[in-house]
Structure 1
Amino acid sequence: MLSVSGNYQSLGLSTLQNTALSTRLERLSSGLRINSAADDSAGLQISNRLASEKRAYTQLNRNLNDGISYAQIAEGGLQESAAILQRMRQLAIQSQNGVNAVNDRAALDKEFQQLKNALNGIAYNTEAFNHLPLVGDTDLLSANVPSISDTFTNGVAQSMTSGLRSIAYIPAGSSNIQIDLHDNGANDDIQVFTVDGKHLAGTPLSAATWGAYGVVNSSAIEGTFFLPTNGYSPSASYDDSDLLTVGSATIDGNTISFTGDQNASGNLNENLTITSNAQPLIISVIGTGSFSVTASWTSLGDGDSQNFSLGPVDITSTNQLGVGTDFIELTKTPSTLTDLGLGGTSLQSESEAENALTQIDSALEIVGESRAFYGAKINQMSSAIRNNAIGLENISNAHSQITDADFASETALLTQAQIVEQASISVRAQAKSSDEQVLGLLDSISGN
């Protein structure tokens, strides 16, 4: 019996051939041995874990490089601080020389005070990743005290009530702060303090404005006024050694002019001008009445604790799955005038110059230790980067062995699949040709 066979038997083989060919092409084009879970389900799970570790190592090195940048910024600020301290030391030695007249020492002290201003400015303006590494958290004002820009509108008069409280703070680095007060006959007085309790301008504690609240000595003001809610550090202590009651002076890097309390002479106005301030200042108006006040300024600094992160910086150094994260801690290295013990130093006399020299030597030691701290941390983070690089290389190799395609093997298998496919096509073509010849013969017989 004559029979005609179709291509159905070769259909299954053709599908397998196409699948094998597609798999080889996919692996060669992607470079990966595992392109789906069906390729190697166990290998896929292992490769995903290794990929997570690879990404962790990569990000850890980025974090460590950020930490190195942070330390370099802080150390750079300290380097300039050390240079300023060396110049201050030179001036102190020069001022000790007995040939200097009063005017000579006054000229030396003028530069000395400006250098103190610059020293504080470096501390409050050395910013790294929204941190102030050279300013202690206690040197920054509490968020409980509004900034002068929140309390006042620049150049606009307003009415306020006085009391035993802080009404505003002036961020470090501000310029040309002008406060004009009219006390309406109630004898309210402007007071200016530092965060650690130094009384820079205002009326002494013997004045009636303070006595109305029972504040008559340092213990009383420390117990009732120097509170965190008023913006003062917990260790604030009263110091009026440089109190400016009237006139102009540069005190600890803060340039201030003050008309003083003129109420006794019938003048109800007080005018305070802070040309520049190297540290945050707290403004209060002490009294029991109400007053009208206008505050204006050219610019406000950014040394505001509300805008900066507090505390130490923890740099991620290792992160092991299932184990946890290790950190390299970069603590702050406060280098303000207060932290360096240079707040009240001057060169107005030989004895003051001698005292300043002692304080400067101590400050240089503090700055040197802080620079050494950052240098050690930079080396520690660099070592962690090198260690992570070794781990990353090993993990990458292990990941590649599982996921990467073997190009030589896949190319050979692709060639094999192509030969089989082409042979199959050739056989099917020949079979189809034979079928057509048989059918043609049958047609010709039936036609006869």
Structure 2
Amino acid sequence: MRINNNMSAVITNNQLLGTESSLADVMEKLSSGFNINHASDDPSGIAIAGKMQAQIDGLGKASTNSSDGISVLQTAEGALNEVTDMIQRMRELSVQAANGTNSDSERETIQKEIDSLLEEIDRVAETTEFNTINLLNGSLDNRTYAEHATRIQTSNTVPAGVYQITINQAATRGTSGVSPLGATSTPVTSSTVNSYDNTTSTTTVNTVASTDFKEFINNTTWVQEVTNNSSGDVVSHSEGSGLGMSGTITINGKGVSLTQGTSGEGVYELLRDTCELAGAIISNPADGSGFSIQSLKYGAQADLKIEFSSKEFAQVLGFDTTTWGDAAIVESVGTDAVIDVHKTGGTVDSMFGPQATYRTDGNHIIVSDVDGFELSFLAEAGFDATTDTGSANPGRIAFNVTDIGSMTLHVGANKNQNMEVRIAAVTTEFMYIDDLSVTRVNGPEDALDSLDTALNYVTSVRSQLGAYENRLEHTTKSLDTTEENMTSAISRVEDADMATTMVEYTKLNVLEQAGTSALAQANELPQLALQLLQ
């Protein structure tokens, strides 16, 4: 029996201290609800839980990102719904304008509403925003860079890279050129017999060659005499300058009467106004290349037909009629662009596939291939291999298609888990309806064609947005489900099982009470030594 070292008390005390430590851990688990409160509790478990928590937090934010993406698409799609309605209204107006019961003034009134709707479409495209990000002006479409081409559009299946074409022949307009004006110096003579008073009216016109149309008309001089057919006496004599004789000119079915003596400015203004209604343009270049009337459009559908009241009247307007025959008519049709598409494997570094083809409408060129591949653009007027003389590769256009510009939605918990959203430009320019007019000859019919194409374009953009929306809805559900499952998994790793922990707590609590009692008994053992000393 020893009193200096009470080993029973020491052993019991050590056991009690261990029980207290374990009990403290269990109580911490019960109070926090976590099975892992310190790294020492489960070193591997805390590492796993840390990674899981990062994924859970990321998944939650990715789900929010997806929802924000849906909001962006819904905003754009809502604006496009109004664009669709406006195109439908313009189509309705075009059908109305196509009716022959409408006068020119009524078509002009219809055109005012069309012009207003075109402006509104562009306004919607430029001002539809989400969080200050413009949605419909093309800023969220992939960037493509090229010279001598505008209105460049690529489908979603066009990979980034360099695509090259060569324009061998630029699209042309139907044209009636006069160069130089009044090159023939022979006087133009026209006689008209008036049976009602037995007289003959003779007009002799002298022109002076010029490269400027207005100057040519103003420098023209004319003499008109009326002679009695019976006596040969001159009944009247008049002379002057300006337009040499009266007559009519009809351009694509739109006619205008010109009066003898009208100044060059006056004739030019009347012809300009007629061309505007006839779907043609009039030009008088300062470089002296000659006055001309051309179709407004380019390509094989660009017809131009000019009819004069007489060949003599055409001459006094500066036209050379020596090859016309008996008819006083000029007819011309434009041509479409002719290009080479440089394909993969050729001598030119280009990524067009071996099955690529192209189609043209004037200088609007579309290159297509399998899997919905489509590259569309408007070639610069007059640019081709014959005019691009200063280039090492005349007529060559290189399109650098990038994957820059689209909206990147981060829809995952980790880096590079992205979804690219492209929204094409929905402006009147990119829909090729920016020059829509029902006041021109065949304008309503042309407008119907253009608006049908524009409607298909907008519908295509809307369907793409709908596809994005449906995908994002599935993405959001997937992220939420994954987050739920990940939360369940991390719960199994770091959350305390309260039932099991309570069993452990009860056991340790009993052990602590037993240890305390045992320690008290052990501390009483040295007292027994006193009995030996009595």
Normalising by structure 2, we get a TM-score of 0.47
- 8 Å CA contact 1:91–1:108 kept in 2: the answer is yes
The question of whether the paired residues in 1 share the 8 Å contact of 2:12 and 2:518 is answered with no
Q: SS in structure 1 opposite 2:410?
A: strand
Identity level (%): 28
Question: Are residue 364 (structure 1) and residue 458 (structure 2) matched?
Answer: no
Structure 1 residue 391 corresponds to structure 2 residue 482: yes
Alignment match of 1:314 (pick from 398, 408, 422): 408
Q: Secondary structure at the match of 1:34?
A: coil
Name the residue aligned to 1:99: 101
| 1:344 equivalent among 435, 439, 442 | 435
Output the amino acid matched with 1:371. Answer: R
Matches of 1:205 and 1:138, distance apart in 2: 42
What is the match of residue 464 of structure 2? 373
Mapping for residues 33-432 of structure 1, pairs under 5 Å: 33-137=35-139, 311-318=405-412, 325-349=416-440, 351-429=442-520
Matched AA of 1:381 = L
Tell me how far 1:8 sits from its aligned partner: 4.7
Q: After superposition, give the CA deviation of every residue in 1:356-414 in whole Å (9 maximum; x if it has no partner).
A: 22211111100000000011111112222233334333333322221111111101111
User: Greater CA deviation, 413-422 or 128-137?
Assistant: 128-137
Question: Would the aligned equivalents of 1:24 and 1:413 in 2 still touch at CA under 8 Å?
Answer: yes
Q: CA deviation at 1:437?
A: 11
Partners of 2:2 and 2:526 within 8 A in 1: no
Deviation at 1:57, TM superposition (A): 2.2
Partner of 2:231: none
Contact in 1 for aligned 2:125/2:426 (Cα 8 Å): yes
Unmatched runs of 5 consecutive residues or more in structure 1: 140-203, 209-233, 240-309
Q: Which has the larger radius of gyration?
A: 2
**Equivalent position of 1:192 in the other structure:** none
Distance 1:121 1:437, change over 3 A: farther
Contact 1:92 1:347 in 2 (8 A): yes
Aligned-residue offset at 1:9: 4.5
Q: C-alpha separation between the residues in 1 aligned to 2:21 and 2:468?
A: 57
Q: Matched residues in 1 for 2:50 and 2:519: separation? A: 44
Q: What's the CA shift for 1:96?
A: 1.5
User: Is 2:21 the counterpart of 1:19?
Assistant: yes
Q: CA deviation at 1:424?
A: 2.9
Deviations 1:192-242 (A, max 9, x none): xxxxxxxxxxxx99689xxxxxxxxxxxxxxxxxxxxxxxxx979589xxx
Q: Is the 8 A contact 1:96 1:350 kept in 2?
A: no
Q: 1:35 to 1:2 in 2, by over 3 A?
A: closer
User: 2:271 maps to which residue?
Assistant: none
Counterpart residue identity of residue 21, structure 2: T
Contact 1:319 1:325 in 2 (8 A): no
| CA shift in 2, pair 1:236/1:135, >3 Å | farther
Query: How far apart, CA to CA, are the structure 1 residues paired with 2:466 and 2:494?
Result: 41
Residues 407 and 422 of structure 2 are in contact (CA less than 8 Å); yes or no, is this contact kept in structure 1? yes
Letter paired with 1:85: I
Q: How many residues align?
A: 284
Distance 1:371 1:352 in 2: 28
Deviates more, 1:382-391 or 1:336-345: 382-391
Deviation of the 1:429 alpha carbon: 5.0
Shift of 1:75: 1.1
Q: Does 1:29 align with 2:31?
A: yes
**Contact (CA 8 Å) 1:315, 1:327: kept in 2 or not?**
yes
* Conserved? CA contact 2:140–2:423, under 8 Å: no
Change (3 A) 1:235 1:96: closer
Q: Which amino acid counterpart does residue 80 of structure 1 have in structure 2?
A: E
Aligned mates of 2:125, 2:20 — CA distance in 1: 71
Please give the alpha-carbon distance, in whole angstroms, between the structure 1 residues aligned to 2:468 and 2:139. 21
Report the residue type matching 1:48 in the other structure: G
- The alpha-carbon deviation at position 430 of structure 1 amounts to 5.9
Shift of 1:3: 4.3
Q: As a proportion of its length, which structure holds more strand? A: 2
Q: Which position in structure 2 is the counterpart of 1:193?
A: none
Q: Deviations over 1:283-342 (max 9, x none)?
A: xxxxxxxxxxxxxxxxxxxxxxxxxxx81012234456xxx6343221121101101111
Give the conservation status (yes or no) of the 8 Å contact 1:96–1:349: no
Q: CA deviation at 1:138?
A: 11
Paired residue type of 1:311 = G
Q: For 1:436 and 1:206, how far apart are their aligned partners in 2?
A: 130
Q: Supply the distance in 2 between the matched residues of 1:403 and 1:352 (Cα, whole angstroms).
A: 74
Question: Cα offset for 1:26?
Answer: 1.2
Q: Contact between 2:3 and 2:526, CA under 8 Å: does it hold in 1?
A: no
Instruction: Give, in whole Å, the separation in 1 of the partners of 2:131 and 2:419.
Output: 16
Is residue 311–residue 332 contact of structure 1 (8 Å, CA) maintained in 2?
no
Question: Structure 1 137/397 Cα, relative in aligned 2: closer, same or farther at 3 Å?
Answer: closer
Q: Greater helix share, 1 or 2?
A: 1
Residue range with higher mean Cα deviation, 2-11 or 399-408: 2-11
Aligned to 2:418, the other structure's residue is in SS state strand
Q: CA–CA distance in 2 between the matches of 1:138 and 1:23?
A: 56
How far 1:32 moved relative to its partner? 1.3
State the 1:426 CA deviation.
Answer: 3.7
Farther off after superposition, 391-400 or 402-411 = 391-400
Measured in 1, the distance between the counterparts of 2:80 and 2:62 equals 27
User: What is the alpha-carbon distance in structure 1 between the residues aligned to residue 25 and residue 3 of structure 2?
Assistant: 37
Structure 1 residue 347: Cα displacement: 2.7
Matched residue of 1:314: which SS? strand
Q: What is the deviation of 1:13?
A: 2.3
Separation in 2, partners of 1:430, 1:424: 10
SS at match of 1:98: coil
Matches of 1:93 and 1:64 in 2, distance apart?
A: 43
Counterparts of 1:373 and 1:350, CA distance in 2: 36
Q: TM-score, normalised by structure 1?
A: 0.55
2:97–2:110 CA contact under 8 A, matched in 1: yes
* 2-structure distance, mates of 1:330, 1:9: 72
| Greater Cα offset, 68-77 or 126-135 | 126-135
